[in-house]
Chains A and B, each alone.
Chain A
Amino acid sequence: MTVAAEPIKTYHSLWSDAFIRLRRNKLAMAGGIIIIIIGLTTLIYPFFTKYDFASQDLNAILKGPSQTHLLGTDELGRDVLTRLIYGARTSLMVGIFTQLIVLSIGLPIGAISGANGGKVDNLLMRVVDVVYAFPDLLLIILLRAILGGSIYMIFLAIGLVSWVGIARLVRGQTLSIKQRDFVTAARVFGGSGGYVTMRHLIPNSLGPIIVAVTFNIPRAIFTEAALTYIGIGVKPPFPSWGAMINDGNKVIFAAPHLVLIPAIAIAILMLSFTFLGDGLRDALDPRLRR
């Protein structure tokens, strides 16, 4: 094929457009980079350390930062840095897996509800209302009692209480997009209900969904930390930032760093996700396009 004339302007798809705008947002990029660094660290660190998150050294308990233990040791002589990094893995897993559960429940329910309307919508939204009205913590405790104590069950429990927000968002999005001409156009050209939903309604609501999920991740992380703090989350000796704060609490005057370090870590990770979410919201906002 002969080479056509070079285009005067390079064009971008909507998503690459959004990415360009996201890159201009320094705070969001910082958040994203921190999240990536934390993620990579949790993957790589285990290969480079001689410590294990559970091995105790009772000769060296409650030590401050030093050459051997960069962030000191806790009340059982475990290396704090190691526990912090394994705790980060727990937090990131909680953040990501709960949102996968949330999406796999909330997205279809919201889309079916919004796309169909009428009785189906009414029924599904009443279910959502019931779950929404139920106190989250109570429901999680209840689910924990039913589902048992493995870490995956924590994901499931948190996911099962927080999908309603996404379901409502997706429903609202599909309802408003349904009014737009291109949906009528898709039906004019022979698209059936399900096809229009998959091809037009959901792709057009992805922007706000991505933003909501990004904002939900820190909430899930915090919920896990809170659950572990009150003792119904991750079981010891498996590290979690909530558990570390809980343990450190007992010796807060002797070794305040045991509370401070995981608390700061939670704050940094949550802020990173929040900044990233903020940036994504701005980048994906159609009103700011161009």
Chain B
Amino acid sequence: MSEQPLLEVKDLVTQFFTQNGIVKAVDGVSYNVKRGETIALVGESGCGKTVSALSILRLIPNPPGKIISGQIMFDGTDLLQLPIERLTDIRGDKIAMIFQEPLTALDPVLTIGRQITEALERHRGLRGQAAMDEAVRLLTQVGIPQPDRRVKDYPHQFSGGMRQRAMIALAISCEPQLILADEPTTVVDVTIQAQLLELIRNITKDLNTALILITHNLGIVARYAHRVYVMYAGHIVEHGSASEIYHQPAHPYTKGLLASVPRLDEPRKTRLQPIEGQPPDLIKPPVGCAFRPRCTIACDACSKMPPVLFAVSPGHYAACNMAKPVTK
């Protein structure tokens, strides 16, 4: 694991300037992805997962959003310093994205084929029939039946699962090195979810593509991600390998998240434990630990001193004043 990571995000700060004040959506987040690796960004709605991913491609709507500081090293270049023309060469070619809602992420007035060929024309220089043939091949690869026919269809003629498959075909059209998947399975039902995730996993394996999986579904995380970053209120509060996060969560927020999802390995009588309270206001986050108002084990220090990430065990970090290093 001494290999240079494909993507390294360092101390990223992204803020939104709104009428009510500055929303610190992402406040000093660092994470990295190695080639071919799948990492998960986990957290509840509004904790900065999507913003931290969109920041990679500098697609934060400006105004009101702005990347204040940080470094995003992708394959040796800092994406934040890159002129926009060079960045558009990378977008779609080396880094692609799968959106949460394929219906809104596909242009309703263009056929699926034309949307897939857009990226091929832009980055691969394919034209006309050659591009269309490649689009058909991609649709076949993502398991769309009758691809030569469906390539001429419009997004509203696809079912939800098919649309997301088309979206995946679009994402892999230029064989990117990194795919950002923003809650790719939230809008489809559970059976399709599993199919889509298997598809994404197989494709990333085949192409040796790294994947950033943004989700709030811990079930997905355990099964598909190698490493997990847990986000809360714009900070990474815990990260480590998927199994460590699952079996030895160190941060009370991660513990709370795990207690709030049903598990098959526990007796059914056990009641789910919700995390009490609301996520903090990101305009005026609480002093000290952002999770303190909802934390069951907080002490005085937590209201003064913001916790920093420290190694609980090798490769497993948590940002909690109360967490203790695990001694093996």
Which residues does A use to contact B, with CB under 8 Å? 4-5, 7, 11, 13-14, 180-182, 184-192, 199-200, 203-204, 206, 286, 289-290
1/0 contact string of B138-178 vs chain A (CB within 8 Å): 00000000101100011011000000000000100000000
Whether B135 is near chain A, meaning CB under 8 Å from some CB there, is no
Counting chain A CB atoms within 10 Å of each CB, the highest count among B54, B91, B96 belongs to B91
B94 CB → nearest A CB, Å: 10
B57 / chain A contacts, CB cutoff of 8 Å: 187-188
Q: How far is the CB of B138 from chain A (nearest CB, A)?
A: 13
Shortest distance between the CB of A204 and any CB in chain B (Å): 6
- Across chains A and B, which 5 residue pairs bring their CB atoms closest together, nearest first? A189-B92, A190-B92, A181-B104, A181-B105, A189-B119
A189:B118 contact, CB within 8 angstroms: yes
- Beyond A181-B105, A185-B106, A192-B88, whether A13 also contacts B154 by CB under 8 A is yes
Q: A187-B59, A188-B59, A189-B118 are in contact. List 17 more A-B contacts (CB 8 A).
A: A11-B157, A13-B111, A181-B104, A182-B108, A184-B59, A185-B97, A185-B105, A185-B170, A186-B107, A187-B88, A189-B96, A189-B122, A190-B90, A190-B93, A192-B88, A200-B110, A206-B109
| A206→B109 CA distance, assembly (Å) | 10
Residue of A nearest to B180 (CB): A188
The distance from the CB of A6 to the nearest CB of chain B, in whole angstroms, is 10
A43 to B77, CA, bound (A): 65
Instruction: Decide yes or no whether B229 CB sits under 8 A from chain A.
Output: no
Q: How distant is the Cα of A204 from the Cα of B108 in the complex, in angstroms?
A: 8
Q: A7-B149, A13-B154 are in contact. Are A286 and B108 (CB under 8 A)?
A: yes
A224 smallest CB distance to B (angstroms): 34
With both chains docked as a complex, state the minimum distance between the C-beta of B242 and any C-beta of chain A, in angstroms: 26
Q: Do B108 and A188 touch (CB < 8 A)?
A: no
Contacts of B97 in A (CB 8 A): 185, 188
Interchain residue pairs with CB less than 8 A apart (8): A7-B149, A13-B154, A185-B170, A186-B107, A190-B89, A191-B88, A192-B85, A199-B110
- CB neighbours (8 Å) of B93 from chain A are 190
Residues of B within 8 A of A (CB): 54, 57, 59, 85, 88-93, 96-97, 99, 101, 104-111, 118-119, 122-123, 146, 148-149, 153-154, 156-157, 170
Give Cα A7 to B91, complex, Å: 36
Complex partner residue of B154 from A14, A180, A286, CB under 8 angstroms: A14
Closest residue of B by beta carbon distance from A13 = B154
By beta carbon, the residue of chain B nearest A180 is B104
A186 to B122, CA, bound (A): 11
